[in-house]
Amino acid sequence: MVVTLDQIPLGQLARITAVDWTALVPEEGQRLRALGIDTGAKVRLAYRGVLAGRDPLAIEVGRMTVALRRVHARAMQVEAPVDEPTA
């Protein structure tokens, strides 16, 4: 089963395995890549919004926290990284 970044539990560490760039506006894709959110990156789902839809999300990538929308996270397939224990 394919798991996307918006579906993993809060606090979970994950590795991005594939990104559907066609689902994103080109500039946003570029912005995400510039922030290091790309295939292979290890990210942690850190915070979720409160209201309906639980949007937006904040993820930790490296030592940075980045806010993004659920539509962005939904375009990213993730898996639990094998080389590190899940938090």
Partner 1 sequence: MTRGICIAALVGNPNAGKSALFNALTGARQKIANYPGVTVERKAGRMLLPSGEPVELVDLPGSYGLSPTSPDEEVTRKVIMGEQPGQGQPEVLVLVLDASNLEQHLVFAQEVIELGRPTVVALNMVDLAERDGLVLDAMALQQALGVAVIPTVAVRRRGLTELAAAIAEARGRTGAPVEPRPHVNGPERRMLAHAIADGAILSETKRHRLHARMDRVLLHPWLGPPILLALLFLVFQAVFSGAAPFADGLTAIVTALEDFARAQLPAGLPRDLLTDGILAGVGSVIVFLPQILILFFFILTMEATGYMARAAFLMDRLMASVGLSGRSFIPLLSSFACAIPGIMATRSIADPKDRLTTILIAPLMTCSARLPVYAVIIAAFIPNRPVGPGGLIGLQGLVLLGLYLFGVVGAMAVAMVLRRSITKGAASGFIMELPKYQLPTVKDLALGLFQRAWIFLRRAGTMIFTVTVVLWLLLNFPRAAPGQDQVDASIAGHLANGLAVVIEPIGFNRDIALALIPAMAAREVAVSSLATTYAVSNPDENAVARQLGAQLKSHWSLPTALAFLAWFVFAPQCLSTIAVARRETNGWKWPGFMLAYLFLLAYVAAGLTYWTAMALGLG
Whichever of 1 and 50 has its CB closer to partner 1, that residue is 50
- Interface with partner 1 (CB under 8 A), residue total 36
Using CA atoms, how far apart are residues 12 and 23, in angstroms rounded to an integer?
Answer: 24
**Which residues in 32-71 contact partner 1 (CB under 8 A)?**
32-36, 38-40, 46-53, 55-56, 58, 61-69, 71
Q: How far from each other are the two terminal CA atoms of the chain, in whole angstroms?
A: 21
Nearest approach, Cβ of 34 to partner 1 (angstroms)?
3
Site residues for partner 1 per CB under 8 A: 24-25, 27-28, 30-36, 38-40, 46-53, 55-56, 58, 61-69, 71-72
